[in-house]
Amino acid sequence: MKIFTAVLATETNTFSPISVDLNAFKASLYALPNQHPQTPTLCSAPLTVGREIAQARNWELVEGTATWADPAGLINRETYERLRDEILAQLRAAMPVEGVVLGLHGAMVAAGYDDPEGDFLSRIRDIVGPDILICAELDPHSHLTKKRLEAADFFVAFKEFPHTDFVEQAQNLWRIAEDKLMGQTNPVMEVFDCKMIDIFPTSREPMRGFVDRIRAIETNDPDILSISVIHGFMAGDVPEMGTKIIVVSDNKREKAATLAQKLGEELFSMRGTFMAPQTSPDEAISLALSLIDCDDALSPTGRVSGPVVIADIWDNPGGGTAGMRPFCSNKL
Ligand SMILES: [Zn+2]
């Protein structure tokens, strides 16, 4: 069995003015074939897990380039096309293969491409033909477009946010791929569009319970191979942004579609209850002043603590912006 794997990933904040070029990918992760380190990064676990599977099964794993840029603004067109074409050329050279297992993020946007992953996957489909397995791991903060769904056999996304389970879900991705390639299952994917935008931390209720319930369904129902919640990435201004449910079943399309709808409607019914309580700017400043012992006597209480940082949620470089600005500290 010969499988091709590669990684092409970043998370694009289309409101950020910081352009992503090839140097940004090289500064974060740019590993040529067989040069990826043993430790996976967020989106490259399909490659490192794939090495373990290939070794255990004595399969041939052909590695393509694995690359990731830290989140910022649009990828410039030349960079996206160059990285895409580099990996496509590696795949063409590896043909024929029985499967393609990818590490994607799913929220990439490039100049001239609202849906780079859809473009990438459909070109891969054109190369391998209709019968070869194509699957990918996704970050839930991604855009699940029709083009991607048409091109790939199935997707598995991280369940936890913060993303503590990217290796576990890469293992699930490979488990489903292995069973398919061994002729034991026929994974089919159904999707329900919740037509909503929200933020879903899984460290607190109600999302904790929701994820625990979908994990229990995966464990207890042999027809259900995988359930993913695509949260959506609201800093990506693209037409198909939003929350969607993926159910991958073993050849049970109707059951998968029914379950995806049921779970999606359950999520929709809880809309607006997922985020942690928010602090208003006035409350945040009052709280900060009460904690700071500044030389200019901003704080009459004289309490010492620091540094104190006031940040808007979208001041987070992990979401593609430039970073946070320290507000005031007796240490600075
Ligand atoms: Zn994410």
Domain ranges across the chain: 2-269, 281-319
Expressed in angstroms and rounded, the spacing between residue 158 Cα and the centre of ligand 1 is 8
Using left for φ > 0, alpha for ψ between -120 and 50, and beta otherwise, residue 183 falls in left
Centre of ligand 1 to C-alpha 131, Å, is 31
Burial class (CB in 10 A: 0-12, 13-18, 19+), 90: middle
Helix pair 77-94, 116-128: axis angle to 10 deg: 20
Q: CA–CA separation, 173 vs 64, rounded Å?
A: 18
List 193's β-bridge partners, or say none.
244
Does the model's pTM come out above 0.85?
yes
Q: Residue 155 Cα, ligand 1 centroid: separation in angstroms?
A: 15
Specify which residues 133 forms β-bridges with: 99
β-strand pairing of 224-230 with 244-250 = antiparallel
Percent of the chain predicted with pLDDT > 90: 82
Give the Å distance between the CA of 203 and the centre of ligand 1. 14
Ligand 1 center from residue 302 Cα (angstroms): 39
Integer angstrom CA distances of residue 290 from 233, 283, 298? 35, 11, 9
Identify the pLDDT of residue 293: 59
For residues 108 and 17, what is the distance between their CA atoms, to the nearest angstrom? Answer: 15
Single-letter amino acid code for the residue at 57: R
Distance from Cα 313 to the centre of ligand 1, integer Å: 14
Q: What is the mean pLDDT of the chain?
A: 92
pLDDT band at 24, cuts 50/70/90?
very high
Distance 304 CA to ligand 1 centre (A): 35
Distance 58 CA to ligand 1 centre (A): 33
In angstroms, what is the span from residue 257 Cα to ligand 1's centroid? 25
Q: What is the pLDDT of residues 85-130, one digit of tens each?
A: 999 999 999 999 999 999 999 999 999 999 999 999 999 999 999 9
Rounded average pLDDT over 209-232 = 98
Tell me how far the alpha carbon of residue 139 lies from the centroid of ligand 1, in angstroms: 5
Residues lining ion ligand 1 (Cβ < 5 A) are 139, 141
- Separation of CA 17 and ligand 1 centre (Å): 20
Q: Contact at 8 Å (CB) between 186 and 251?
A: yes
Question: How much distance in Å is there from the Cα of 138 to the middle of ligand 1?
Answer: 9
C-alpha 230 – ligand 1 centre gap (Å) = 10
At what angle are helices 253-269 and 207-220 packed, to 10 degrees? 160
From the CA of 140, how far away is ligand 1's center (Å)?
6
> What pLDDT score was predicted for residue 289?
77
pLDDT at 281: 83
Q: What are phi and psi of 31, to 5 degrees?
A: -110, 120
- At 50, list the tokens: 């794939």
One-letter amino acid identity for 48? T
